[in-house]
Amino acid sequence: MYKASRFSPLTSIIRHTVVTLPTPINISTWWNFGSLLGICLASQIFSGLVLSLHFTAHTDLSFYVVIQSFGDVYYNWWFRALHANGASFFFIGLYLHIARGLYYGSYLFKEVWSIGVVILLLVMASAFLGYVLPWGQMSFWGATVITSLFSALPVIGGDVVVWLWGGFSVDNATLTRFFGLHFVLPFIVAGLVGLHLFFLHDQGSSNPLGVSSDFNKVVFHHYYVLKDLVGACFFIGPLLGLVYFNPWLLGDPENFIEGNPLVTPHHIQPEWYFLFAYAILRAVPNKLGGVVALAAAVLVLFYMPVSPKTSVKGLSFYPWGKMLFFSLIGVFFLLTWAGSKPVEEPYVVISQVLSFLYFSYFALIGPITRIQDKLL
């Protein structure tokens, strides 16, 4: 008598994905962030569904519904703190995942990398939309500032802004459509994650040495399942610590004030995970140029798969390339810091210099590693 599950296509797919998947024997902890991001996505979807049950997308009610639900709905405060801080940890994982890909040459898997960049863009869009929903001061003015950027588009800019707003200002129609999009986008992201994993398993994982590992692999379970579980504990622990002991540490105090179109905050800024791009936006004095630079800050990642190829995948054996990479990490942190400062000197000049250095990495990393290839 045969076991039906052994012949089930769904069971076979799951088994091949998390049990028998051939995996390079030498991948390090930096490869843990893929599974951690999956945990973050599942946590965000589940906590978001719970929060949506007690949310009203209306400018007269949203702020008060969010505040009132803290006391009236069991554990609503916990789900909101988990959702808000989970977004921050989601971006920490995303940025580290991308940094690992840049360092170890994962961008050479073109389909996997390109879908990953699309996922990043959709997660950023979803995070922005979700930040608007509580309808606090920073939510309202952040939505106003960011959506107004589309007015810089030639010819169609004004019409695009009115279409986004659903009227002639950020109002009830804007909040309603933002809530709908914020609800739908995570499920689109989940579908793209499945496609991301499909191409990854089809092409195989990279490894720290940047060489072929076809003859040096082990099955995913139990070697890497246990490793991912340990990584999840180290990742989830700080998240829960933040949720229980200081849930609003990463938030903006202005968002505990109801959104008021007649009172502009002294310093409008997005959440910390957008500050690097916000600094690049402010570094360009021309509005259209700033919007182009803002988009290019993320879209430049699409360039990496077509950048000049090297004899060894990744930067492990390229000292100059490693220096450039760690300089990029430093520039990223400095841009985040500059984005949190007011739009005044010397922060504007600092942002301009850092923006130049940020884009210089993507222009120089290919030629620099090719020169080292020739020297060696």
163: domain CATH number is 1.20.810.10
So what's the pLDDT on residue 146? 93
Boundary-marking domain end, from 187, 220, 249: 249
Q: Are 158 and 285 in a shared domain?
A: no
Clarify whether residues 31 and 90 are in a common domain.
yes
Give the residue ranges of the chain where pLDDT is below 70: 1-7, 376
pLDDT value for 6: 59
**205, 206, 351, 355: which is the annotated catalytic residue?**
205
| Residue 108 maps to a domain | yes
Residues 183 and 282 in one domain: no
Query: Using CA atoms, how far apart are residues 72 and 231, in angstroms rounded to an integer?
Result: 35
Q: Which of 62, 106, 139, 228 is catalytic?
A: 228
Count structural domains, the chain. 2
Active site residue 110: no
Task: Clarify whether residues 108 and 26 are in a common domain.
Answer: yes
Catalytic residue among 227, 287, 322, 341: 227
Q: Given the residues 252, 254, 258, 271, select the one marked as catalytic.
A: 271
Q: Last residue of a domain, which of 220, 249, 278?
A: 249
Q: Is 0.85 surpassed by the pTM of this model?
A: yes
Q: Give domain status of residue 159, yes or no.
A: yes
Per-residue model confidence (pLDDT) at position 115 = 96
pLDDT at 288: 92
Asked whether residue 3 is assigned to any structural domain, the reply reads: no
Does residue 262 lie within any of the structural domains?
no
Residues 53 and 197 placed together within one structural domain of the fold: yes
Q: Which residues are annotated as a binding site for a ubiquinone?
A: 201
- Alpha-carbon gap, residue 305 to 153, rounded angstroms: 28
One domain, residues 55 and 134: yes
Flag whether 2 is in a domain. Answer: no
| Judgement on whether residues 237 and 299 belong to the same structural domain of the protein | no
Identify whether 347 is part of a domain: yes
For residue 227, indicate whether it is catalytic. yes
Alpha-carbon gap, residue 230 to 130, rounded angstroms: 30
Q: In which domain, by residue range, is 64 found?
A: 15-249
Q: Label residues 103-115 b or e (16+ Cβ within 10 Å = b).
A: bbbbbbbeebbbb
pLDDT at residue number 275: 95
Do 305 and 209 share a structural domain? no
CB atoms within 10 A of CB 6: 9
**Contact between 24 and 216 (Cβ < 8 Å):** yes
Does the active-site annotation cover 201? yes
Q: Are residues 122 and 239 in the same domain?
A: yes
271 is catalytic: yes
Whole-number pLDDT of residue 7: 55
- Distance between CA 16 and CA 34 in Å, rounded? 17
End residue of a domain, out of 249, 277, 296: 249
Annotated binding site for heme b: 83, 97, 182, 196
Would you say residue 10 lies in a domain? Answer: no
Which pLDDT score, from 0 to 100, does residue 312 have? 82
Within-domain flag for 121? yes
54, 58, 110, 201: the catalytic one is 201
Binding residues: 83, 97, 182, 196, 201
Residue 326 has a CB neighbour count (10 Å cut-off) of 12
Q: Does residue 351 share a domain with residue 235?
A: no
Q: Do 307 and 215 lie in a common domain?
A: no
Q: What is the CATH number of the domain that holds 284?
A: 1.10.287
- pLDDT of 308 reads 81
Q: What beta strand segments (E) does the chain contain?
A: 22-24, 217-219
- Same domain, yes or no: 308 and 209: no
